[in-house]
Amino acid sequence: MKKTALFIILLITAASCISTKSTLKNVDNNAPDLVLNKNNTFVISLFSKDKKYGYNPDYPVNIFFKNTRDEATNEVRFLNALAGPNGEKIKYKRLETCCPFPTKRSDMGAGFLNVYELTWEGQKKPVTLYLNIYEKGILMVPMGLTLKKE
């Protein structure tokens, strides 16, 4: 009985935290499907000119790829394609999950952004990126980063 009550309270709390309107500004359901290269990273050919892209929770990097069952795989495919501003090798770690939003691409009806910290040698301050595995968008390299050389 206690488990059932706790589960109901958890469901009500989760539902009350999720807005019915998404705040994401860069979702594009017509964006081309993402493609993998021979190194199992995403092929990226565009560089963002928007300072908010990837750095602001309303403008996350949208990396929806076929399904959302294994979110870490798709995030790694994106992050492993990146390099520091001068081609430095980046290190990354997942900090948290945040910012619930409604989506039809989740069994729960809600998605969350995953927040990553990127560092590289010679860097003064770590970079924080917001990644969204639930929605599609034009995949780009965020400002201040480059692509890893193959």
Q: Is residue 39 part of a domain?
A: yes
Query: Could you tell me the two tokens for 117?
Result: 């910290």
Q: Which helix (H) or strand (E) holds 135?
A: none
pTM: 0.83
N- to C-terminal Cα distance for the chain? 57
- Domain region containing 40: 19-147
Query: Could you tell me the two tokens for 52?
Result: 């908010």
Each residue's pLDDT tens digit, 59-109: 999 998 766 566 789 999 999 999 999 999 999 999 999 999 999 888 888
* Cβ pair 47, 117 in contact under 8 A: no
d(CA 150, CA 83): 11
Averaged pLDDT for residues 109-113: 92
Q: Is residue 4 part of a domain?
A: no
Q: How far is CA 10 from CA 5, 14, 34, 55, 133, in A?
A: 9, 6, 35, 30, 24
Number of domains in the chain: 1
Q: Is residue 5 part of a domain?
A: no
Q: Is residue 31 part of a domain?
A: yes
Is 70 exceeded by the pLDDT of residue 3? no
Q: Is residue 3 part of a domain?
A: no
Is 60 exceeded by the pLDDT of residue 19? no
